[in-house]
Structure formats: structure tokens, C-alpha cells
Amino acid sequence: MTTYYTSDLHFGHLNIIRFCDRPFPGVGAMDARLVQLWNETVTEDDTVWVLGDVALGTLGESLANIGRLHGHKILVPGNHDRCWEGDRALRKGEPEARERRRAREHERYLGAGFAEIHDRPEPVTVDGSAFDLSHFPYEGDSHGADRYVEYRLPDRGGWIVHGHVHDTWRQRGRQINVGVDAWGGRPVPATTVAALMADGPRDLEPLGWA
């Protein structure tokens, strides 16, 4: 059994093809290739942490791709996920109404194929390397100035594995971006992440799409 990390699949999102220069003529081809690359990499016995921004567009269609993916899938929501605690719709109204909406969104993502949803960043250890899992890096963004700073972990000198920045970098210092746009569309094995940490802080450019 192997553990993997990935982020920012953006199933069903037409604009991400142009924004990140993904090599696909449309959403259908992109979604099919993401599923293919995942299932070529991951077995049913593996675990994959998805660090946010799973699907956009018509969620009934785009979230259906989750059920086609191998493995035990765990979601740490990002800013484009309807179940994210910072989603504007989940912050409106009275506390009871907000909790009901949040529970419904959780059920929608769990029903689509996620086994677990972890609302807050997760501390983990792999091969003796300790780090945090979060959608957001300590600093940096794909749209200029840092957004959602209130949801980011403070940099206390440790490592963070994240998404959100798409093809801006694969590694920047102690920040490792596991988004599909930095890793050729494939999930990243935990052993690869641990090896990058063992090599120390540095800057790495994204890999090309497979």
C-alpha cells in the first residue's frame, strides 16, 4: 500500500485549460486523461490525499469523476470546494443553517467517492520527515497577491505540502506543491515528497504533462 498526494484537479473546469496551459481540447478530454493518469499510478489498496480544488462546473457531472478513481481518497478542501469551511455560502445566515448547509456539502463529496474529509490542515510524518498538508502554501499564489491568508498556516520553519499555486512552482523552499499542473497530471508518492525534503529547501520548476 502506498500513500500519494495531489491537488487542483479542477474536473469540469473549462477555464483551467487556458489558465494553466493544459494540453487538452476540452473538458471531456481533460477529465478522461486525469482519471487515466490517476488509475495508472494508484491501486485500489493505496491512499490518496487530495489537497483541494477537486471539481468545478456542473458538480453533478464533475464530481462523478471521483468515483472512477482508484484508492482510499481523503479530501482536505480548497477554496473552490463547496464543502470548504471558507465558502461564502456556508458562512451566511444563522449558525444552525450554516451547519446544515455544511453537512449537506460534506455528504455530497462523501457520496461522490471520498472516504474522509479533513476540514483543517493535517500534520503527518513520512520516513521520519514531518510536514503539514494544506491546500494553501505558507505564501504565494497563482493570481498575484496572496489570497485567503486567514486560512493559511503560519510558517514556523517546517515543511508544508500543498496545492493552490498550480504551475507556479513544484517546490519553493520548504513548500512542495503537489498540484497536477506541477507533476504531469499524476499523484505524487509520499516517498517522493520525503526525498525532496531530505534534499533540503530549494526551488524546482513544474514537470510537463504526461
Residue 176 covered by a domain: yes
CATH of the domain at 149: 3.60.21.10
HEC string for the chain: CCEEEEECCCECCCHHHHHCCCCCCCHHHHHHHHHHHHHHHCCCCCEEEECCCCECCCHHHHHHHHHHCCCEEEECCCCCCCCCCCCHHHHCCCHHHHHHHHHHHHHHHHHHCCCEECCCCEEEEECCEEEEECCCCCCCCCCCCCCCHHHCCCCCCCEEEECCCCCCCCEEECEEECEHHHECCCCEEHHHHHHHHHCCCEEECCECCC
pLDDT for the residue 172: 98
Q: For residues 105 and 114, give the distance between their C-alpha atoms in angstroms, rounded to a whole number.
A: 12
Residue 210 covered by a domain: no
Residue 209 covered by a domain: no
For residue range 48-107, list pLDDT tens digits in order.
999 999 999 899 999 999 999 999 999 999 999 999 988 776 666 667 777 788 889 899
Residues 184, 209: contact at Cβ < 8 Å? yes
Count of domains observed in the chain: 1
Q: State the residue range of the domain holding 190.
A: 3-204
For residue range 113-166, list pLDDT tens digits in order.
999 999 888 889 888 888 999 999 999 998 888 999 999 999 999 999 999 999
Residue 64 covered by a domain: yes
Residue 82 covered by a domain: yes
Query: What's the predicted TM-score (pTM) here?
Result: 0.94
Residue 110 covered by a domain: yes
pLDDT for the residue 89: 66
